[in-house]
Amino acid sequence: MHIQLVPFDNEHQPAIRAVRNAVFIEEQHISPELEFDGLDDDAIHVLLSIDGQWAGTGRMLADGHIGRIAVRKECRGLGLGARVVQALVDEAARRGLDRVWLGAQKYATGFYRKLGFTPYGDEFLDAGIVHVHMKKALQHDHTNSTKNPD
**Measured distance CA(122)–CA(114) in Å, rounded:** 20
Full domain range(s) for residue 78: 2-98
Number of structural domains, the chain?
A: 1
Model pLDDT for residues 53-99, shown as the tens digit of each residue: 999 999 999 999 999 999 999 999 999 999 999 999 999 999 999 99
In a domain, residue 125? The reply is no
In a domain, residue 62? The reply is yes
In a domain, residue 47? The reply is yes
**Measured distance CA(2)–CA(115) in Å, rounded:** 20
Whether pLDDT at 23 is above 70: yes
Closest alpha carbon to 48 in 78, 25, 92: 78
**Measured distance CA(15)–CA(132) in Å, rounded:** 28
In a domain, residue 150? The reply is no
Average pLDDT of the chain, as a whole number: 92
In a domain, residue 48? The reply is yes
Which pLDDT score, from 0 to 100, does residue 2 have?
95
9: three-class secondary structure by DSSP: coil
% of the chain residues with pLDDT over 90? 89
Model pLDDT for residues 101-112, shown as the tens digit of each residue: 999 999 999 999
In a domain, residue 133? The reply is no
For residue 87, what is the domain's CATH number?
Answer: 3.40.630.30
Distances in Å between the Cα of 28 and the Cα atoms of 31, 57, 137 are 9, 16, 30
Closest alpha carbon to 121 in 140, 111, 108, 135: 135
In a domain, residue 52? The reply is yes
In a domain, residue 119? The reply is no
pLDDT band at 141 (very low <50, low <70, confident <90, very high): low
Which pLDDT score, from 0 to 100, does residue 143 have?
47
